[in-house]
Structure 1
Amino acid sequence: MSTRLEALSAAYLCGLRAYLEAASEAGLAHAYELGRQAMADGLGLLDIAQLHRAALDTLVLPAAPADREHLLDASTAFFNELLAPFELSIEGYRAALTASEERFHLAVSGAMAGLWDWNPQTDEIYFSPQFKRIMGYEDSELPNEREAHFGAIHPDDRDRVAQRMKAHLEDRLAYDIEYRVIAKSGEVRWVHSRGQALWNASDTPYRMVGWILDVTDRKRDEEALRTSQEEMRRLSAHIQQVREQEKARIARELHDDLGQQLTALKMATSLFEHTADKDRGRADQHALNGLYTMIDNLVQSVRHIAADLHPVILDDLGLIPAIDSLVDEFSARYGIRVVRHIDADGISFNRECRIDMFRMVQEALTNVARHSGATEVVLDIERVDPHCIVRIVDNGRGAAQQGAKGRHSFGLLGMRERAALLGGEIRISTSPGKGFALTALLPLASIEAKPTP
């Protein structure tokens, strides 16, 4: 027996003897102080039970049988008072534990996490109601069975989850993983799961507790961001390629068209200069007519190249006349009828938006000519507050929604980019055999000219 326990045992025996001789509040107060001293000395309940038993053997057992019941009752009262500090301490621990559990549950509830608690030895498991809600189930619909969740993990992710769990239980590596689950509705959702196992003295895991958090929206946002970044990279590369191609096209036209016409003009001028005097009179008018024709062709070529680079009519007459001219040229070139419903008289388009809107219509019509096999196009431009709506619908072969992205993706990317610069968006509607509809929703606040003060 330790020195502290011996000293306390002697004090307890003395105090109990005095209390049995004359029960009093002072005696019970002395028992309470002995209990506080036992706690301060680091003695446990087993130590206290041993010294109480020894005191009973000394003070109660030798007594006459008629006195023992009274002595036992008094001893029990003294012993209970000695235990009071221990009971208060235990209640404090319980209260602290309860408060800690409440804080944990509040934190988990605030994070919308679903809890799970698993016994690896018996395979018993508990799923919280929030866990089941993440999976799309009511509390009573999903049984507390491990297979109920493991079977819902996406087939492509099951081995990865199982390997991570094994690595945690056997090698104590962190269990922190994101994987897909198939909810009750059949929807594929993403969850983030973390857990921590407990091991006994023989290094066997006997409990594992963790949570799952629905991260589907974050995953979708990340995928949308990756897709957008990839599209931007592809668009940037395509723009650079188109820029170089445009430079090459202009150079070819200047060389092949203007160059040839200028050469012919030079040769005609030289021939005119060397015409014999006797033939000069008859040849003058004929040669001049030929020169005039070449010059007219040269001017038309220059105008055509300039119009391709930037339509002058857009600056001179405005957006709607420029689109009308574009549509007339489109119909004449491709033989595709265009039905126009343009009701934009109430919109004063600002200078910055005109080229973007013109190019969107131009690209949409180009796509119709190249890809749709259509015989008719409907072009709508109208004001539907707070938007200006531009809609191009053809009666061509159409495409599946997914296939529509690849059919002329760079053209669509360019149109989406132009619409985004104006604060708007592009919407596509198509299906095989049902034509192709492209709608641009453009905020009036971005495209209307601001009134001058």
Structure 2
Amino acid sequence: EWDVRTNSRRWSDQLAKIFGLRHDQLPSTFDGFYPLVHPEDRERTARIANEALRGGTDYENQFRIVRPDGVIRTVHNQARVDRDESGRPVRVIGVCQDITERKLAEEQVRASQERFRMMVENVRDYAIYILDMNGYVTSWNLGAERIEGYRAEEIIGRHYSCFFPPDHAARGDPGMQLQFASVQGRYESEGWRVRKNGSQFWAHVIVTPLLDETGKSRGFSEITHDITERKRAEEDLHSYADRLKITSRRLVEVQEAERRLLARELHDRVGQNLTALGINLSIVAGGLPAGSKPELAGRLEECSSLLEGTVDAMRNVMAELRPHALDDYGLPAALRSLATGFSRRTGIQVAFEGDVPGADLPKPVDLAMFRIAQEALNNVAKHSNAKRVEIAIRRANGLATLSVRDNGVGFDPKRIERSNREAGWGLLIMRERAEAVGAQFSLKAGLRTGVQVLVEYHVSSGGVR
């Protein structure tokens, strides 16, 4: 409190504490107060007070003070000027509050906002801009200028629908995106956008509503990233994958054609020669005189046995090359024959279950499933130490499923290629065979839990007869 008539000043204990003064250090006059004010704020503070004394009533001010220990604090002052009947000031009553921490926090927020503004404005790889509630552009960064092609003075105030292809804008995409962001709190998508020059680019877009302190929406932020090159690379990769599938399918067809040719050559040439050899051996054996040497008869019998074994082996090879049961009776019969032959050769028990009718699947799918079952059994014989294998071919809800499961030692699928390259190639070949005919290949395996190979094919209505 300052008594203007006596030029005396009274300080509260709290005010003295704010200024860091003892009671014997408190200035007793109004003018004695100003040396406590920071030199840069002193003139302004005195001017505001003097203007209030000349004709005002209330005033307020923020200024810095310098404590005796050199510490600088910021205070907020509110004061009232009391006047007598003639209008002369007689007393000034004021309240002073230390707002140093608040000012520091405000400065930190302001500096942070400025750094963020500078960062956003100078980002060049992303278009970052602000829209009002109706979709009109209110801010624009360098990235937006580079990607969209508009300078800030050209685009601010325009509706952001100009970034959309005309047909997309006409069907209401801009409004739909803002509405979705308002309801869901975020909108994210990929699609075509249009530059100022009319060229289009594939964009990844994120729209986020901006909320005020009360939670009310006051606009939207949009971040747009030009991902045209990534999109083109993905399309090239998909095209390359499609070409690989076609090539793989063609390789399978060539391989099967070679298998058929080799099986036919074995049958027509080697098989006929072996048949003729067997006939000749029978004639020779039947024409031996009764007193012939026993050793000669034994050799002929041995030759006949070797010939029979060779014919059986050739038939097995021919069955491996081209299973006649598959062509003549269908996949279930061929798998049953494959299981029987495998069990006879290896001593491993094989159980078969099949409920898919013959000719129910396309021929390429039949062949792929048969070859996959063949490869799976080969892996069982080489690596599993299994005692039992279960083969099943089922059909349910338009899905044909082949399953080959063993009770062997199993393996860790993540380590198979590093630990056993041959088995890794076998799995790769099975997967490629399945994918080449549009089927899905999967593998269930674990240490000491056996292995299950699954092939699933969705039977289309056109593929079922």
TM-score (norm 2): 0.42
Structure holding more strand per residue: 2
TM-score (norm 1): 0.42
